[in-house]
C-alpha cells in the first residue's frame, strides 16, 4: 500500500482510532504492520532443509530405480546421497544462495550453483577413487543424479522465487524498518535502501525529535510519524524488525541517548554507515544489500532460536502437565472445599513486548478480598490468603495452571517472571525505579527463571529487590540457550525448597 493511500485512509478512520499517544497517521500505520509475517531468514532455512531432502531423496530413488534394492549396497548409497546433499547445501550457504536476493532472483546464482554441484560430485569421485569403492557405485546412477539433481534445484528455486516475490509484494515476507533521525542524511539512506535490487526491506516511517525546520515532515516519500518517545509506543503495536539510526558516528552522545531509550524494544538496532563519515575494514560492517551498517543490538531469541524454544516449551510443557495433573486435581478439590469461589484466578500482566496477557493461577485468596490489580502485594500473615492458599503459595503449586499459558503460547517455561502490571516498590511502579525495566519484555515471560533459582522469588517490597531481579532477567536474555533453559528447569525444584520469601 502506498503512503498516499495510507494517508487518505487515515482521514476516514482517524475519529475511530484507538486511544493512543500516537498521532492518527502513526496510529494507522502501526495498525497496518500489526500482523505477523514470514521472516526471510526462516525462508532461507526452510530452503536449506528442502534442498537437502530433495537431493538426498532423489539420489536414493535413482538407486532404487536403476540399481535395485540390494541390501549389501543400501547403506552405501543412502550415506552418499545424504552426505553429498548436506555438503552441497553447506557450500551453497557459503555462497549466499539462501539470502533473499538469491531466492528472489535465482538467475544470479546459476554459476555458483553449477560450481558447487560440480565440486560435490568431483569430491565424491575423488573419495571413491582413494577408498577403492568406485566399482561399488553405478556410473549411470552417478551421471543421472548429477543432471537430475541440478534440474530439480533449478525448478524448485524458480517456483520459490515466484512465490517469494508475491509474498514480498503483499507484505507476507519482509523486514520492516524504521529510520531514526530525519533530514538529508535519512533521505540519502532511504533512497539507497530502496534502490537495492530484490530488497526485502520495507521502510515503515521516520521518527525524529527535531522540529520540521531541521527534520522535514516528509523524507523521500515517507512521513515523519513522531518523536523517539512515540517510537517506543509505535514499536509496541507494529511488528517491526529493525531500527536504523541515521546519525553520524561523530554524534556519540546523541546515539548513546537514543540507544538508552530504544534498546527495550525486541528489534535489531543498526547504525547506518552509508554516509561514510569514517572508513573501516569491510568485515567491520554488516550489509543490507550494498548499504553498510554497524550492528548495535540484535533481537534476542529470534528466527530459528524462537522455533527451538517453542518446541522446548511444547515438549516439556506437555510432559510437566501430565506429571503434575494429579496434584492439580487434588489442589482444585482442596480449594473448593476450603472456601467459596472459583478454582482459578486470572490476572492481567505484561507479556512479550509489553502486550497485556491473562495469566492463570490457582486461587489462593478469599474471593471477596482478592486484588485483581495486584497493587497490594501479599505479605507475611496476610489475612486475605486462605488456609489452602498459604500452602500452595509456599510450594508454588498456585503457579501450575500457567502450564496452560505455556501451551497457548503467551508464556514460556523459562523466562523473566511476568510481574503484576501495577506492582510497586516503595509506592513507585517497577519501571519508575529501575532503568531499562521494560527490556525484560524483549522475550516471552516464563513460569520460572534465572532470578527465581537464585533466590529472588516472593515479595519485592524494596527497590533493591526489583533491581536485582531485573539484572538477573537481563543476564538470562543476553545469555540464552536451550541448555541454559534446561539448566534452569532442572534447578527449579531445588530452588522451591527455599520458602523464606514465599507467603
Please state the separation of Cα 66 from the chain's center in Å: 46
Give the residue among 448, 350, 351, 383 at the shortest CA–CA distance from 364.
Answer: 383
pTM higher than 0.85: no
Among 296-305, 401-410, 414-423, 430-439, where is mean pLDDT lowest? 430-439
pLDDT bin (cut points 50, 70, 90) of residue 3 is very low
Across 22-36, 82-96, 414-428, which has the greatest mean pLDDT?
82-96
pLDDT at 277: 58
pLDDT at 13: 36
- Residues 503, 501: Cα–Cα separation, whole Å: 6
Coil, strand or helix: which one is 497?
A: coil
* Contact by Cβ (8 Å): 488, 456: no
pLDDT at 458: 65
Cβ neighbors of 141 (< 8 A, separation 6 or more) are: 59, 62, 63, 66, 67, 77
Q: Determine which helix (DSSP H) or strand (DSSP E) holds 358, and give its type and residue range.
A: strand 356-362
pLDDT at 24: 86
pLDDT at 5: 42
**CB atoms closer than 10 angstroms to residue 467:** 17
Rg (CA), the chain: 28
**CB atoms closer than 10 angstroms to residue 197:** 10
Q: What percent of the chain has pLDDT over 70?
A: 88
pLDDT at 427: 66
- 3-36+174-297 — its CATH code? 3.40.50.20
Task: Return the residue matching grid coordinates 525486541.
Answer: 266
Please tell me what DSSP assigns to residue 462. S
Handedness of CA 203, 204, 209, 212 (dihedral sign): positive
- Residues 437, 467: Cα–Cα separation, whole Å: 8
- Residues 185, 180: Cα–Cα separation, whole Å: 11
pLDDT at 8: 42
- Give strand pairing partners of 420: 349
List C-alpha distances in Å: 85 to 89, 91, 137, 292. 6, 10, 17, 33
User: How confident is the prediction for the chain on average, in pLDDT?
Assistant: 84
- Residues 262, 452: Cα–Cα separation, whole Å: 27
Is the pLDDT at 10 greater than 60? The verdict is no
DSSP-assigned states of every residue in 280-323: --GGG-EEETTEEEEEEE--SS-THHHHHHHHHHHHHHHHHHHH
Instruction: Kindly give the pairing relationship between strand 175-180 and strand 242-245.
Output: parallel
Q: Mean pLDDT throughout 121-146?
A: 84
**CB atoms closer than 10 angstroms to residue 68:** 8
Q: Mean pLDDT throughout 149-163?
A: 93
pLDDT in tens, 62-74: 888 887 767 767 7
Residue spans per domain, the chain: 3-36+174-297, 40-170, 304-495
Give the residue among 240, 273, 245, 274 at the shortest CA–CA distance from 259.
Answer: 245
The grid coordinates listed for 108 are 544470479
Largest distance between two CA atoms of the chain: 84
Cβ neighbors of 389 (< 8 A, separation 6 or more) are: 335, 338, 363, 364, 365, 398
pLDDT bin (cut points 50, 70, 90) of residue 461 is low
Backbone phi, psi, residue 412, to 5°: -110, 165
pLDDT bin (cut points 50, 70, 90) of residue 196 is confident
Amino acid at each position: 500500500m502506498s503512503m498516499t493511500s495510507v494517508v487518505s485512509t487515515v482521514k476516514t478512520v482517524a475519529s475511530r482510532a484507538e486511544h493512543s499517544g500516537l498521532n492518527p497517521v502513526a496510529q494507522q500505520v502501526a495498525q497496518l504492520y500489526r500482523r505477523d509475517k514470514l521472516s526471510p531468514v526462516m525462508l532461507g532455512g526452510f530452503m536449506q532443509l528442502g534442498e537437502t531432502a530433495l537431493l538426498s531423496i532423489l539420489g536414493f530413488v535413482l538407486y532404487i530405480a536403476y540399481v535395485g534394492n540390494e541390501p549389501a549396497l543400501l547403506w552405501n548409497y543412502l550415506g552418499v546421497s545424504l552426505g553429498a546433499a548436506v555438503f552441497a547445501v553447506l557450500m551453497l550457504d557459503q555462497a549466499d544462495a539462501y539470502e533473499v536476493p538469491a531466492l528472489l532472483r535465482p538467475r544470479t546464482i546459476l554459476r555458483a550453483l553449477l560450481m558447487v554441484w560440480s565440486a560435490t560430485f568431483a569430491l565424491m569421485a575423488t573419495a571413491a577413487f582413494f577408498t577403492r569403492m568406485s566399482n561399488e557405485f553405478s556410473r549411470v546412477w552417478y551421471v543421472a543424479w548429477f543432471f537430475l539433481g541440478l534440474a530439480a534445484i533449478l525448478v524448485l528455486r524458480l517456483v520459490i522465487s515466484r512465490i517469494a516475490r508475491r509474498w514480498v509484494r503483499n507484505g507476507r515476507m519482509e523486514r520492516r524498518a524504521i529510520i531514526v533521525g530525519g533530514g538529508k542524511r535519512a533521505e540519502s539512506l532511504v533512497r539507497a535502501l530502496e534502490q537495492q535490487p530484490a530488497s526485502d526491506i520495507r521502510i515503515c516511517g521516520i521518527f525524529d525529535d527535531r522540529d520540521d525546520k531541521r527534520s522535514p515532515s516528509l523524507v523521500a516519500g515517507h512521513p515523519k510519524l513522531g518523536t523517539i518517545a512515540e517510537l517506543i509506543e509505535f514499536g509496541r503495536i507494529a511488528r517491526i524488525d529493525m531500527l536504523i539510526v541515521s546519525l553520524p558516528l561523530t554524534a556519540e552522545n546523541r546515539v548513546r541517548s537514543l540507544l538508552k531509550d530504544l534498546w527495550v524494544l525486541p528489534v535489531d538496532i543498526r547504525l547506518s554507515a552509508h554516509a561514510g563519515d569514517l572508513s573501516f575494514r569491510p568485515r567491520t560492517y554488516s550489509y543490507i544489500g550494498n548499504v553498510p551498517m554497524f550492528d548495535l543490538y540484535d533481537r534476542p531469541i529470534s528466527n530459528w532460536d524462537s522455533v527451538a524454544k517453542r518446541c522446548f516449551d511444547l515438549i516439556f510443557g506437555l510432559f510437566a502437565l501430565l506429571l503434575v495433573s494429579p496434584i492439580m486435581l487434588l489442589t482444585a478439590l482442596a480449594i473448593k472445599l476450603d472456601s467459596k469461589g472459583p478454582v482459578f484466578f486470572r490476572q492481567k500482566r505484561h507479556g512479550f513486548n509489553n502486550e497485556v496477557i491473562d495469566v492463570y493461577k490457582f486461587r489462593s485468596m478469599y474471593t471477596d478480598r482478592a486484588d485483581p490489580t495486584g497493587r497490594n502485594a501479599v505479605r507475611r500473615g496476610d489475612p486475605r490468603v486462605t488456609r489452602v492458599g498459604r500452602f500452595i503459595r509456599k510450594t508454588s503449586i498456585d503457579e501450575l495452571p500457567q502450564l496452560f499459558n505455556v501451551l497457548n503460547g503467551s508464556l514460556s517455561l523459562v523466562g523473566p517472571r511476568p510481574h503484576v502490571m501495577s506492582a510497586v516498590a516503595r509506592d513507585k511502579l517497577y519501571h519508575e525505579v529501575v532503568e531499562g525495566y521494560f527490556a525484560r519484555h524483549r522475550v516471552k515471560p516464563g513460569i520460572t527463571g534465572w532470578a527465581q533459582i537464585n533466590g529472588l522469588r516472593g515479595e519485592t517490597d524494596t527497590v533493591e529487590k526489583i533491581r536485582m531481579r531485573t539484572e538477573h532477567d537481563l543476564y538470562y536474555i543476553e545469555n540464552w540457550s536451550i541448555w541454559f533453559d534446561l539448566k534452569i528447569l532442572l534447578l527449579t525444584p531445588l530452588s522451591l525448597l527455599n520458602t523464606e520469601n514465599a507467603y
